[in-house]
Every structure is written in C-alpha cells, then in structure tokens.
A and B are shown apart, each in its own frame.
Chain A
C-alpha cells in the first residue's frame, strides 16, 4: 500500500509524488540532496499520496530551497486532505533559537570558575547560618527540654550510629592490619620492629580511628539525612510542617544532629579499638610480638591524652556531618533528580569539611603541645 516517494524534476516541472511520511525519510533526504538550485516553471504536488508532520517539514525544506512561500504553495497546489496539516507545520517557526552563548570558550570557562567560587562562598555562608539557626534552636530546646524529640533522637542514634558499627569496625580493623604490615616492613631494616606498636597506637588513637569513623558515617548517615529530608522537601512535607506551626529544625535537624554528636565519639572509640586490634593481630602473627608484650608496650608509651585528643574531635565532625546532611536536604527542590544531586553534594562536602577540620585540629594540637 505504501508508495515510495519520488521527486521528478525536468525543464518545465517539479513533480512530487508518493508517501511523504516519517518511514520514507531516508529516501526523501537522498532525493532532496540531489535537487538543483533553480526552480522549474511548474510545480505539481497533486501526486502526494500521504503526508505526515515529518513529511510536511521536508516539503517545507524543498519549497524554501526554491525560495517559495510554503503556505501560498500549499493553498494553491496541495491535496485538500493534507492542507490543514501542512499549513500547521508550515506555520511553525523552524529556525533554531539563536545560541545564547555568544562568548568564546575562554570566557565561558572563566565564568564557570567564577560561578563555582561564588557558589562555594554562598554555600559556606549558608552552612554558617544554618549552624547558627540550629544552635539557637538547640538553646531554646534546652530551656524547655520537653520539646526535645527523644524518640526520634534514639531512633537516629540507632540508625546512624549503632547500625554503622559493623562496617566501621571491620574497615578500621583491616586498616589497622595494613598499617602494621607497613610499619613492620619499613622498621625492620633498622631493627625497630617493636616500634610498630607505637605506630599503630599513635596513628589510630590520634587520627585514624576517628577519621575513618567520621568518613564512613558521612557516606552512610549524612547521605541518608539528605535523602530523607530531601524527599520530604520535594513532597512539600516541610512546607506542611511550617504551615502547621511546627519547626522543621526542631523536629528534623536537631534529633539527627544531636544523635550523631552523641554517637560518633562512641563509634570512633570502637573504631580505634578495632584498629589497634587489627594491628595487634598482625604484630603477633608476623612480628612475633605477643599480646602481652603488645599491651605492656602500649601502657609504657601511650597516655590517656593520645586517646582523648582523637576522640575530642568526634563531636565536631559529627556536628559538621549532621548539619551538612540536613542542610543539603533542605536545599532540595522539585524533582527526585534534585535529591540525588544534593545527596552527592552532601557526602562530598561533609568528607571535605571533616578532613579540613582534622587538619585544623592537628595544627592546633601542635601549637598547644597536646
């Protein structure tokens, strides 16, 4: 039933025939390619047997190529059955909207860098503002402790802290083992295998334990905060809360952040413990430093300060992770895609801030000889 389209051109006439439909586009395009530039005297469109919007658009191309006014031509020559469609298609503006990007590559790149720096500054200000808002809400809540959502807080302590324990401890244990192997192979040439104990204890108590815990919790629980709050935001639940006179900071942000502040030091403590265990196991197996020797060296060379100097950092990390997770959730707008984008951003930001804070703490400890 379908007829192949045909464009016949001779000295005196241009005759178009057949099915001008989307299925025939390759044939049509090939024929249009071969058309000459000059217009024959007569035009014959009567043999067109089918026309759909795509065909009409190509017909428009042909007519425009010869400098004709498609609408006039259609009214004069086209089969009445297709006229309505053709006029509609011909009336549609088909020029590409002029590219808005009039500037060069270099300019665009520079503008992107500028925009990124600007966004960084805006983000930092927002985060500080959010910190202030949360602290003032916390202050009000402390004056009236019955407003604290204890149930929600306990729930988040379990979800964000307790449930993270297995993975945090496992990873910390493995990293401890790796550090012990490294220490052994570096220290052995100097006959200082025994110092592996100090290496492990030092690195885990001061840095690795809390840092590993914070990074894993940021990836696991900070992102969960963003996703939870973000999907509530995109369903207008946050607006509904505000409209009902409920404070989203008090209901959503405080329980999550406080839960993290309360649990991350405990998680970090257990992570430190697991790391040292991992180191101790490797020392025993490959360095012949038995548990008794390991423990006595630990007692000789380490003091409480080393442990506390690590764990003191945990609540600050937790505050940063919780705030960033919640703030990114609050920034979600509209679609589910936005939730995904902000979740990614929350994880990246909170890990960045955790490591930045850690560096600041290290400088501070150095200055005060802690």
Chain B
C-alpha cells in the first residue's frame, strides 16, 4: 500500500472569504472503492473537481498516477485524462447527441479508430453499463433518470479508464434502481479492475460497496476507515451520521444480508 493512485496533500480551496478546504490530505489506493462523505457544503464535490482538474486549488499538491498533473502541458494532461472517467450528477450527457454518440465522443477525441470499431466499442460499453442495445440511438431526454446515469457510466468507461469518479451516483434514484446501480458499480469495478472515487450521501451505498470511507468536515479529512470502523469513531458528526436513525437502518440491512 505504498503507491497510492491518487495522492492529495496540503490542499486548500477558498471561495472569497469562505474556506472550504484547509490543508487537506487524502490517499486513494489502487483498486479500492473510496467513499467520500460530509455535510452539505463540506466540499466533497470541490475535492472531486480539484482532483480531476476542473478547479484550480488555491494551494496544495495533487498527484494522480504518481504525476502532478497541474505542472503538465495540455497535451500531456490529456493522455492522463483519458485514464479516468467521471460520472456527473444526473449523467451530464450531451443533450444534442444520442447515447451512442455520447459514448463515442471521448473515443473520437482520444483515439483514431475506424468508425466501425468505434461503434462496436460504444455498443459494448452501453451493454456493460446494463442498458439495452436499443438505447444507443436514443437521445438523453428520452431516457429515465436511472438510464441516464447508466448512459453516463457507459461514457465514463468509454476509454477503459483506471479510475472512475462518481458524484452522487444514486441521488434521485428509487431504492430499487439505486441498489441495482450499486451492483453495477461493484461488477464493473471487479471486471475492469477500477479504482472508484465515490462522493455520496447514500448510506446504503456506503455499506454495500465501499472499501474505505473518508469523512470531510472542518475543511479536512477527519477520518478514513472502513465503514464498520467509523461507527465507533468518537467525532460527534460521524456519530450523528452513522448512528442516526438512517445510519442504523442501513447497518441492519447490511448485516442481515450477511450469511
């Protein structure tokens, strides 16, 4: 465990007067599913956006694949950017393109494949994401929320990434779809050997699929541990989060499923 795939250190993010992150440090190990939790406004999404380079942090060092991406020129950066995939909340699919074209877009950008192969790969990714093949020619507006997220996953894994960033993947889904989505992430992670960085509020997801959970509060990571260990963490916010009524329900559900 000496070679983390993502290493964040000394990260500070400020919006005007308001400090979101102060000297934040976090390591993500290769092949794990790391959940990130925190109250609203604790900077979970800002952390994700800082790591993938959508936001330039005020201070700090972010290494992905052992490289400091901030110091690279654009071309070098892009060769690394294709090695991760991002699922934004609600998919963020390009609304003027069909699902298949959405999945082909990153392939087209990063590789020079013959069109037939590109279409074949797009169909593969669509079916890996658990969508029926006939959703390829559909437009995002014709899909339900759950299907849009699956299409977003298909686009995120288009270039066979090593890291998958998920921003609240189960938000807005009904419990059944959310559980199915958790399963999808687990199977994809196993089959594609992905590292998953997961921002979520969903306690069931945390119990079901994460290996470790990082808790963001007071501008830094106050604890990183497997979810079962966090239940015993003394910090009041963590206690309230995991031992509140919803946390207990999720625990019971998970334990009762164990053989």
Task: Note whether A and B form a binding pair.
Answer: yes
The minimal Cβ–Cβ distance linking A302 to chain B, given in whole angstroms, is 52
The minimal Cβ–Cβ distance linking B161 to chain A, given in whole angstroms, is 9
Q: Is the CB of B124 within 8 A of A97?
A: no
The minimal Cβ–Cβ distance linking A222 to chain B, given in whole angstroms, is 24
Q: Tell me which residues from 36 to 73 in chain A have a Cβ below 8 Å from any Cβ of chain B.
A: 52-54, 57
Q: Is the CB of B133 within 8 A of A97?
A: yes
Is B7 at the interface (CB under 8 A from chain A)?
A: no
Q: Tell me which residues from 84 to 105 in chain B have a Cβ below 8 Å from any Cβ of chain A.
A: 95-96
Contacts of B140 in A (CB 8 A): 335
Given contacts A53-B125, A88-B191, A336-B95, contact A97 B160 (CB under 8 A): no
Complex: chain B residue closest to A99, CB-CB: B137
Contacts of A22 in B (CB 8 A): 111, 159-160
The minimal Cβ–Cβ distance linking B141 to chain A, given in whole angstroms, is 4
Interface string of A10-33 (1 = CB under 8 A from B): 000000000001100110010000
Complex: chain B residue closest to A55, CB-CB: B160
CB < 8 Å: which of B119, B133, B157 contacts A93?
B133
Q: Tell me which residues from 204 to 223 in chain A have a Cβ below 8 Å from any Cβ of chain B.
A: none
Interface string of A331-362 (1 = CB under 8 A from B): 00111111000000000000000000000000
Q: Is the CB of A334 within 8 A of B191?
A: no
Contacts of A53 in B (CB 8 A): 121, 124-125, 128, 157, 160, 192
Q: Is the CB of A97 within 8 A of B134?
A: yes
Q: Is the CB of B141 within 8 A of A89?
A: no
Contacts of B136 in A (CB 8 A): 97
Contacts of A57 in B (CB 8 A): 120-121, 124
The minimal Cβ–Cβ distance linking A25 to chain B, given in whole angstroms, is 6
Contacts of B187 in A (CB 8 A): 88
Contacts of B113 in A (CB 8 A): 25
Contacts of B111 in A (CB 8 A): 22, 25
Q: Is the CB of B121 within 8 A of A84?
A: no
Tell me, in angstroms, the Cα distance from A96 to B159 when the chains sit together: 20
The minimal Cβ–Cβ distance linking B134 to chain A, given in whole angstroms, is 6
Q: Is the CB of A94 within 8 A of B160?
A: no
Q: Tell me which residues from 126 to 151 in chain B have a Cβ below 8 Å from any Cβ of chain A.
A: 127-128, 133-134, 136-137, 140-141
Which of the four size classes fits the interface of chain A? 20 to 34
Q: Is the CB of B95 within 8 A of A94?
A: no
Is A92 at the interface (CB under 8 A from chain B)?
A: yes
Contacts of A52 in B (CB 8 A): 160, 192
Complex: chain A residue closest to B157, CB-CB: A53
The minimal Cβ–Cβ distance linking B56 to chain A, given in whole angstroms, is 27
The minimal Cβ–Cβ distance linking B41 to chain A, given in whole angstroms, is 23
CB < 8 Å: which of A54, A88, A96 contacts B121?
A54
Contacts of A89 in B (CB 8 A): 124, 128
Tell me, in angstroms, the Cα distance from A238 to B61 when the chains sit together: 47
Tell me, in angstroms, the Cα distance from A334 to B134 when the chains sit together: 21
Tell me, in angstroms, the Cα distance from A170 to B119 when the chains sit together: 53
Is A85 at the interface (CB under 8 A from chain B)?
A: yes
Given contacts A97-B137, A338-B141, contact A84 B124 (CB under 8 A): no
Q: Is the CB of B124 within 8 A of A94?
A: yes
Is B190 at the interface (CB under 8 A from chain A)?
A: yes
The minimal Cβ–Cβ distance linking A335 to chain B, given in whole angstroms, is 5
Contacts of A88 in B (CB 8 A): 128, 187, 191
Q: Is the CB of B190 within 8 A of A84?
A: yes
Given contacts A53-B157, A88-B128, A338-B141, contact A25 B117 (CB under 8 A): yes
Is B234 at the interface (CB under 8 A from chain A)?
A: no
Complex: chain B residue closest to A21, CB-CB: B160
Q: Is the CB of B120 within 8 A of A94?
A: yes
Complex: chain A residue closest to B112, CB-CB: A26
Given contacts A25-B111, A29-B114, A335-B141, contact A92 B124 (CB under 8 A): yes
Q: Is the CB of B192 within 8 A of A85?
A: yes
Is B44 at the interface (CB under 8 A from chain A)?
A: no
Q: Is the CB of B127 within 8 A of A93?
A: yes
CB < 8 Å: which of A84, A97, A333, A337 contacts B95?
A337
Residues of A within 8 A of B (CB): 21-22, 25-26, 29, 52-54, 57, 84-85, 88-89, 92-94, 96-97, 333-338
A sample of 10 cross-chain residue pairs with beta-carbon separation below 8 angstroms, ordered by A number, consists of A22-B111, A29-B114, A53-B160, A54-B121, A85-B191, A85-B193, A89-B124, A94-B120, A94-B124, A337-B96
Residues of B within 8 A of A (CB): 95-96, 111-114, 117, 119-121, 123-125, 127-128, 133-134, 136-137, 140-141, 157, 159-160, 187, 190-193
> 5 more A-B contacts (CB under 8 A) besides A25-B111, A53-B157, A92-B128?
A22-B160, A84-B190, A94-B120, A97-B134, A337-B141
4 interchain residue pairs of minimum CB distance: A92-B127, A52-B160, A334-B141, A85-B191
